[in-house]
Chain A
Amino acid sequence: MIWEVFRQEQAGDYHTHCGNVHAPDREMALLFAEIQHGRRKPTNSLWVAPQEEIGEVDTEDAEFGGTTDKSYRWAQTYSFEAAAEEVAESENEQVQAEAERQRGDD
């Protein structure tokens, strides 16, 4: 059976999908993942999951973020005064997310 492999480069990072391996059980899947995906690339931790256990929904099936104008939802809509540092940071993230979303629409 096929096991999907997720690698975390450093403690605190997200586990990111990096490939998959053939293995008859979880223990060997971890061993093969270690050899195949953890030996050369920087690795702090690996996850394996049976391929058939992975669920997915993508842009073909869903409208992530809805279909209506949600500008009222974003910090950048409400600018009066310079915001506190952590608020400005949050706003930056939202500005980037919105730019990303618009790139995706093109």
Chain B
Amino acid sequence: MDIEEVKQRAGPREFSPKDDLPEKYRKAATRMIQFHANSEIMGAYLERPFIREAPSLDRKLAFSAKVQDEIGHGQLLYRAAESLGIKDREQMLDELANGEGKFLNCFHYPMDSWVETPMIAFFVDGAAMRRQATLKQSSWEPYAHAMDKVCFEEGFHVKHGEAILYELMTGSKSEQERTQAAFEKWWPRIIQFFGPTDDKSTHHDFSADVGLKTMTNDELRNAFLNAYIPKAEKYGLEIPDTPRIRENDDGTYEVEEDDLDWDEFFTIAKNDAPGSHEQIGKRNRTQEAVEWVRNSMDGWESKSAGKTPQAAD
């Protein structure tokens, strides 16, 4: 199949591993899905300490389930990426460990305090879910299939995050103030989640033309702001003055791009912010610590060639 035919046929779940797809499609899809898979893993690492820090048993159980889910999403997505035939899982995990693998901007910042948890678990996950719901229509079928399961599980994450936000914003004065401060710190990063406006995004045109994604950054950012600004206000959060956000008459929002720190964003995109080094290093050390498990499984696979061993008589 050539690129023109791919563009012509592009539609929801149109292409599967059976199709002979041009390298350009397979590379673009790999880049996108690998980024997504990496982000699931890095998000899980950021939230893992809060299993321990959780203020109650219920929160501990919920955070533990959520972290499990995110790691599982990473695994699902690495499979969806692998099936494109460009990179295998081992390579993608190595790239994540050695600092080549890219992931979501919000997961490059340290998260130190419990009041920060809803910034990820409610706003970032809410933003991610908005995007993921549209990816059920992706043209790469294994990706869309993974999104079915991801979205099935993600609803709990967002609502759990919302429950924490509600609890904090109806808590003590100090809790409310610290939550507001955390919100002000995270808000610009959350807006940047959707990347620069479409005229600055480099990858969109091709991925849209071949149906890998169906909505632009601008549309997604708008949809997110439409749903989440009223929610933030409802819980008593004040939307920070910067970045300036104008509401148009047609219900869309316009973010004043110059109010956001794009130097920081693009430093993060190169995995070169202080938080990047910290998070990547943390995961790298964990990967090294369990290397013996992977090695022993690989050794077992080549020895047993996938057969279940017979029980000794």
A residues near B, CB below 8 A? 1-2, 18-28, 35-37, 39-41, 50, 56, 58
Contact = CB atoms under 8 A, between A and B. Distances in A.
Given A19-B76, A35-B72, A40-B69, A24 B301 contact: yes
8 contacts: A18-B145, A19-B79, A19-B149, A26-B308, A36-B72, A39-B72, A40-B149, A58-B18
Given A25-B301, A25-B304, A27-B308, A20 B79 contact: yes
Interface in B10-53: 18
B89 A36 contact: no
Q: Is the interface of B mostly helix, strand, loop or mixed?
A: helix
A64 to B, nearest CB: 16
A1 B301 contact: yes
Contacts of B153: 40
Contacts of B266: none
B197 interface: no
Contacts of B298: 24
Which residue of B69, B72, B152 has the most chain A CB atoms within 10 A of its CB atom? Answer: B72
B306 A19 contact: no
B297 interface: yes
B200 interface: no
Contacts of A2: 79
A24 B300 contact: yes
A51 B36 CA distance: 25
A41 B309 contact: no
Nearest to B156: A40
Which residue of B68, B145, B152, B308 has the most chain A CB atoms within 10 A of its CB atom? Answer: B308
B228 to A, nearest CB: 25
